[in-house]
Structure 1
Amino acid sequence: MTPQSTPTDDVFGPALARATVHAQRWLAGTAERRVPPRSSPAQAIAAVEARLPEGPTPADVVVDELAALAEPGLMSFGSGRFFGWVVGGTQPAPLAADWMVSAWDQNVGMRAMSPGPAALEDVAGRWLLDLLGLPSGADVGFVTGATSANLTCLAAARDQALRTAGWDVEQHGLAGGPRVRVLVGAERHVSVDLALRYLGLGAPQAVVADEQGRIDPAALAETLAQGEGPTVVCLQAGNIHSGACDPMAQAVAAAHARGAWVHVDGAFGLWAAASPTLAPMTEGLAGADSWATDAHKTLNVPYDCGIAVVADPEPLRRAMGVHAAYLADFHEAADPVEKTPEMSRRARGLPVWAALRALGRSGVADLVDGLARHARAIADGLGRIEGAQVLNDVVFTQVCVAFEDDARTRRVIERVLADGETWMSGSRWRDRDVLRVSVSNAATTDEDVERAVAAVRRAAR
């Protein structure tokens, strides 16, 4: 029986064929498509509202209907002129790998269930540690995004901080135990606060940051000295407004001198360590105890793929691991389930393997350098628009621009988004409304930069 005539093809073939047509058409139109969705949230809801069908529908018909209903409400994240939030695009090798992951439909919670994908994720993890200059013996877990990566790492931090203080949180829970003090920079990302809330640790204590959002290491040392007990310090690689990294070497030294666990939220900025040009921004990074990042944001793999890295595997496996009679161990290496909150998950690390295999060390460095170069070019272009002021030192991929007053800044943002040529987020930073640009897509070209700057210039007029 030839591969073209297998029963599996007869079952899946028509639907997959239609999905391929729609996917290829969407990807082919990215370069010239308007960036914003054609429909508003309210219009999208109205368009898709329907009663549950009483009977079955052929799969290929369902795929066509899905495309027709969804596409008017799709943001063109893959456009080289999309600079909103911190949302990356995707590349051919990881996209194709992600299709294979769905087709294979493997559960990589345990090695015995899917040894091939589990082994490939191991390799992807080792490549990441090498690429980012992190400890070679660290554990790497593939989770849903940067928020869940922060959650995973901070769970290990909570476990170890309390265990050092003589409290077994796995056995006794948090009630009755010592309070874990968590120190953060004043401009940390809210996903850190969210992870702390999930973990029952409450609100963190903010430490003053400088004009670029970097934690003040002297203020951190002073704050550390004012308290005692189990302590976690959260640093940041990549401020969402300035792109700046906390002074890692000084901050890590101050924290470790007081026995604190150091976690680094590096959702997009951790990747600066992969560039010989930009790596000095992250000097001292490897001295931390855990790191969180998102492969979608800068490496440009498909959603979803957060990455949690913990230098000492033991506290991570205590916090995340689970053992039951039916989860038999047939191997010496740790199961993926011991490194993430999920017992069942898709092989989301395989697109990371594909991206790293396709790019290699130099390709990743070129990708990261290219994003930073385009950010500088956008800043230069926007800075020449009458009334515009670039508020941050453009050291990585973020640019924040304000006009003479908040009202004009808001009008410019509204006009940029209505124009549709580019997408840049509005935000508020340093007590000013800002137009925030996040360069996160490897597809961005010099022409995209010129067109985006021209769109803002038109809006500013």
Structure 2
Amino acid sequence: MTARPEQYQAALARAAAHAHDWLAAVPDRPIPPRADADELRTRLGGPLPAGPTDPAEVVDLLAREIEPGLMTMPSGRFYGWVIGGTLPAALGADWLVSTWDQNSGMRYATPGTAAAEEAAGAWLLDLLGLPAGSDVGFVTGGTMANFTGLAAGRQQVLTDAGWDLDRDGLTGAPRIRVLVGAERHATVDLALRYLGLGAPTPVAADEQGRLRLDALERELAAGSGPTIVCLQAGNVHSGAYDPIGAACELARRHGAWVHVDGAFGLWAAAAPATRHLLDGHHLADSWATDAHKTLNVPYDCGIAVVARPAALRAAFGTRASYLVHAGTDSPGDPHERAPELSRRARGVPVWAALRSLGRDGVAELVDRLTRHARALAAGLGAIEGARICNDVVFTQVCVDFGSDERTRRVTGRLLADGTAWMSGSHWQGRDVLRVSVSNWSTDEADVAASIEAVRRAAAA
């Protein structure tokens, strides 16, 4: 049966109406959800009906029953877990991606989306100061971006050691040393587990979470064989950056592959005021970032960049008789740059975000997020009993309130108040209230309201 346009009309009209209602409610809506998953499961579950339901009615039912369980993550007063909002152009592009329904693994089959992603990739390399000619893969998020870069690294260091990973697998292979800062993000360990590389060797970090060069030098000298060094661009608590350029030079002397986890912090390279935080980052071999964080693209959209395309394509490229492969003169197929054959065109909203902002707009976005983080730190630090625990170099702020017990109480009261959302965490041996400024729509009024909400929670 051929689908007719009118079959979609009512369902899409209802979806658009609900989307507009949601966006209109976001500025004033309390942040926490009003119902838990068990309650909502009862509403949404039960026996599957035997017969069909009108599509427009299904959309209405879904919107009505899920709404109480939505957290207002797009709010300018949401600072939890380094989650950004969604730029208007990126949201519009994401709607089109679903409508077009292109399986974007093959360049031949989907030249439109492939071209948009290739253009976005070239813009990203330029904006972030990464080597021209690097491969750019669009993956689900920061975890898979780390997985992708580290998979390319695993492929290359074993090849350099004379081991054929494709033929012989990991059994009996030379053990790969993976050196990471003591305060790396948990997704690095997760990606290493996926790759069968086991637990990494932690390298001592300073009080802001930055990997120490002297400790890295000792660890590199203490062993030999295939080695990967994983660096951090933006500590999840302090926002601090490892000394990336100097660490790359050390690692290169030992023949190591260098991967940079820059889930939110790699975007500092797009703004002149923060670019110095990443000095020398172009010397690495692979980088991971997440467009739904600092760039404010809808879920899901991680980005993996690899300076040695041959290693990446050896890790993920495949051949099958039914696939139509890109020609030798082309940039290659999208599926060679990511661990998926089938996927949505998640790089298209990245193209839309970058095209709508332009070079200056991306820099201004990064500057604005950093400025709001500093304003929040100043305001929170002025609350009686509060102490800012980190040097605010980018978009992260951590604050405690004198004792772990009081910090937990203040955090609980703040979240119950609903005006702003700042996640609790534990860092450097103490409980903290953690602030991640990631939303393009956060403004001075949001900052002021958020500071006042914390002040109320502390006073209570």
In the superposition, the TM-score normalised over structure 2's length comes to: 0.98
Q: CA deviation at 1:29?
A: 1.1
- Map of 2:237 onto structure 1: 241
- Map of 1:87 onto structure 2: 83
- Within the candidate set 47, 53, 57, 1:51 is matched to 47
- Map of 2:395 onto structure 1: 397
Distance 1:158 1:367 in 2: 35
Task: In structure 2, give the amino acid aligned to 1:400.
Answer: C
CA contact (8 A) 2:184 2:232 kept: yes
- Map of 1:295 onto structure 2: 291
Q: Does 1:259 align with 2:265?
A: no
- Map of 1:21 onto structure 2: 17
Q: CA deviation at 1:86?
A: 0.7
- Deviation above 3 Å: which 4+ runs of structure 1? none
Distance 1:208 1:44 in 2: 45
Task: In structure 2, give the amino acid aligned to 1:9.
Answer: P
Q: CA deviation at 1:41?
A: 3.2
- Map of 1:127 onto structure 2: 123
Listed one character per residue, the Cα deviations across residues 393-443 of structure 1 (whole Å, up to 9, x for unaligned) are 000000000011000000000000000000000000000000000000001
- Map of 2:143 onto structure 1: 147
Distance 1:153 1:265 in 2: 9
- Within the candidate set 178, 188, 191, 2:174 is matched to 178
CA contact (8 A) 2:182 2:202 kept: yes
Gaps of 5+ in 2: none
**What is the number of equivalent residue pairs in this alignment?**
456
- Map of 1:97 onto structure 2: 93
- Map of 2:445 onto structure 1: 447
CA contact (8 A) 2:106 2:324 kept: no
What SS does the corresponding residue of 2:155 show, helix, strand or coil?
helix
Q: CA deviation at 1:330?
A: 4.8
Distance 2:207 2:35 in 1: 38
Listed one character per residue, the Cα deviations across residues 28-71 of structure 1 (whole Å, up to 9, x for unaligned) are 11111111111123333333232111110010000000001111
- Map of 2:405 onto structure 1: 407
- Map of 1:273 onto structure 2: 269
Distance 1:282 1:440 in 2: 19
Mapping for residues 190-205 of structure 1, pairs under 5 Å: 190-205=186-201
CA distance 1:330–1:274, change in 2 (3 Å): closer
Q: CA deviation at 1:8?
A: 3.0
Task: In structure 1, give the amino acid aligned to 2:353.
Answer: A
CA contact (8 A) 2:326 2:333 kept: no
What SS does the corresponding residue of 1:83 show, helix, strand or coil?
coil
What SS does the corresponding residue of 1:276 show, helix, strand or coil?
coil
Distance 1:7 1:250 in 2: 58
Distance 2:140 2:249 in 1: 31
Distance 2:325 2:387 in 1: 59
Distance 1:445 1:39 in 2: 28
Distance 1:46 1:336 in 2: 41
CA contact (8 A) 2:143 2:188 kept: yes
- Map of 1:3 onto structure 2: none
What SS does the corresponding residue of 2:28 show, helix, strand or coil?
coil
- Map of 2:421 onto structure 1: 423
- Within the candidate set 413, 433, 436, 1:435 is matched to 433
What SS does the corresponding residue of 2:48 show, helix, strand or coil?
coil
What SS does the corresponding residue of 1:137 show, helix, strand or coil?
coil
In the superposition, the TM-score normalised over structure 1's length comes to: 0.98
What SS does the corresponding residue of 1:25 show, helix, strand or coil?
helix
CA distance 1:112–1:285, change in 2 (3 Å): same
CA contact (8 A) 2:153 2:228 kept: yes
Distance 1:387 1:455 in 2: 15
Task: In structure 1, give the amino acid aligned to 2:402.
Answer: E
Mapping for residues 183-222 of structure 1, pairs under 5 Å: 183-222=179-218
RMSD after superposition: 1.0
Aligned-residue identity in percent: 63
Distance 1:117 1:136 in 2: 21
Distance 2:41 2:113 in 1: 38
Q: CA deviation at 1:23?
A: 0.3
Distance 2:256 2:317 in 1: 23
What SS does the corresponding residue of 2:422 show, helix, strand or coil?
strand
What SS does the corresponding residue of 1:94 show, helix, strand or coil?
helix
- Mean Cα displacement is larger for which, 108-117 or 224-233? 108-117
- Map of 1:230 onto structure 2: 226
- Mean Cα displacement is larger for which, 319-328 or 375-384? 319-328
Task: In structure 2, give the amino acid aligned to 1:202.
Answer: G
CA distance 1:330–1:436, change in 2 (3 Å): closer
- Map of 2:318 onto structure 1: 322
Gaps of 5+ in 1: 1-5
Task: In structure 2, give the amino acid aligned to 1:42.
Answer: D
Listed one character per residue, the Cα deviations across residues 254-290 of structure 1 (whole Å, up to 9, x for unaligned) are 1111000000000000000000000000001110000
Q: CA deviation at 1:7?
A: 6.9
What SS does the corresponding residue of 1:423 show, helix, strand or coil?
coil
What SS does the corresponding residue of 2:345 show, helix, strand or coil?
coil
Task: In structure 2, give the amino acid aligned to 1:230.
Answer: P
- Map of 2:30 onto structure 1: 34
Q: Does 1:357 align with 2:355?
A: yes
- Within the candidate set 370, 373, 380, 1:372 is matched to 370
Listed one character per residue, the Cα deviations across residues 136-169 of structure 1 (whole Å, up to 9, x for unaligned) are 0100000000000101111100000000001011
CA contact (8 A) 2:106 2:326 kept: no
Distance 2:20 2:323 in 1: 41
- Map of 2:70 onto structure 1: 74
Distance 1:348 1:424 in 2: 28
Task: In structure 2, give the amino acid aligned to 1:355.
Answer: A
Distance 2:12 2:37 in 1: 28
Distance 1:10 1:41 in 2: 35
